[in-house]
Amino acid sequence: MTIFDSHAHFPPETVSEHDAQIERARNAGLAGILAVGGNNELDTGATSMASKFPDFVFLSLGYERDAAMEIGTSDGALEKSISDLREQINSLRSQGVFLRAIGEIGLDFSRNPSESDKESQIAFFAAQLELADELELPCTIHSRDADAETLETIERYGSQQMRKKGRLGVIHCFTRDKNFADAAVELGLHIGISGIYTFNNASDLRGTVGTLPLERLLVETDCPYLTPAPMRGKPNEPAMVVHTATRMAHDMQTTPEKIAKITTDNAIKLFALPINRHV
Ligand SMILES: [Zn+2]
């Protein structure tokens, strides 16, 4: 099996395990991992793993919604943050570490943020969609309880050139309904399927995913959270992405190898990864 974990975190809490996780991921048949940042700690973990395993761990950096709310938009804080990110990307490039995506970025209104916090989230999301257009990179997008605002912001600020290339980005850890999924696919986005898909109470989600075009699906762990069944109770890690693909294959009456291959091909194209897919 060749499979790609399209969304993994390497936070400081699990740092002693990271090298062993890469070993287990290779043994499980992974072709690679997208290491995703979002705040200082996650960016640091993702960057160090991408620097250490350049043929296997690929890098995504950005400001997620909590970072956006913490920094805020007053006194040029947003503009400074974006210019800091641009500088960080340039400096990494000069060291031979190339960014493959902007993210995770996006909106989360599930904990009832104030109106000004919502505005900060949207402003950071919009500015990073524009940065992704400038840098010709796809985005990895979080969206929770903000369906309409997510779609509106992408429609307005998402990259037209990347959309045309089929490389606009992915709604990662998809948990929403079919209307949202269809609208996202229509906008040109991919849909990332996490371990939530395997949960007992996820039958609605499984039903929705079954209606989506296979060429738009990715699989991901979003580790260290959301451990898929049957590994519940253990910390999640990239090797466990296999369980999500296996459950999808069962529901779609195909083989895990086929789901793994399709989603890997999709990820290689979306993130323009230098991976030999027949390893
Ligand atoms: Zn994440």
For the stretch 152-195, pLDDT in tens is: 999 999 999 999 999 999 999 999 999 999 999 999 999 999 99
Ligand 1: centre distance to CA 83 (Å): 23
d(CA 248, CA 79): 42
State the DSSP code for 167. -
Ligand 1: centre distance to CA 3 (Å): 18
Residue 144 phi/psi, 5-degree rounding, is -140, 125
Which residues, at least 6 apart from 148, have a Cβ–Cβ distance to it below 8 Å? none
Ligand 1: centre distance to CA 161 (Å): 25
pLDDT of residue 276: 72
State the DSSP code for 110. T
- List the one residue out of 188, 180, 122 whose CA is nearest residue 160: 188
Beta pairing partners, 57: 33
d(CA 160, CA 167): 10
Q: Which tokens go with 106?
A: 């996006």
**Cβ atoms of residues 122 and 150 within 8 Å:** no
Average pLDDT for the chain: 97
For the stretch 34-43, pLDDT in tens is: 999 999 999 9
pLDDT at 277 over 70: no
Ligand 1: centre distance to CA 11 (Å): 11
Ligand 1: centre distance to CA 41 (Å): 13
Ligand 1: centre distance to CA 6 (Å): 10
Residue 39 phi/psi, 5-degree rounding, is -145, 180
Ligand 1: centre distance to CA 199 (Å): 18
pLDDT of residue 1: 87
Strand order in the sheet with 30-36: 3-8, 30-36, 57-61, 99-108, 139-144, 169-171, 190-193, 217-219
Ligand 1: centre distance to CA 21 (Å): 17
Ligand 1: centre distance to CA 64 (Å): 9
Q: How long a stretch of residues is the chain?
A: 279
Ligand 1: centre distance to CA 193 (Å): 12
| Alpha helices for the chain (secondary structure H) | 18-27, 40-52, 65-71, 77-94, 115-135, 147-157, 160-164, 178-187, 203-209, 241-251, 256-271
Ligand 1: centre distance to CA 14 (Å): 15
Residue range 203-230: mean pLDDT, rounded:
97
Calculate the alpha carbon distances from 55 to 33, 48, 137, 249, 254 in Å.
Answer: 10, 13, 19, 28, 30
pLDDT at 279 over 50: no
Residue range 138-158: mean pLDDT, rounded:
98
Ligand 1: centre distance to CA 204 (Å): 22
d(CA 199, CA 208): 14
Ligand 1: centre distance to CA 37 (Å): 8
What pTM was computed for the model?
0.97
Residues of the chain with pLDDT > 70, as a percent, come to 99
d(CA 99, CA 258): 28
Ligand 1: centre distance to CA 8 (Å): 7
pLDDT at 278 over 70: no
pLDDT of residue 120: 98
The domains of the chain, with CATH numbers, are: 3-271 (3.20.20.140)
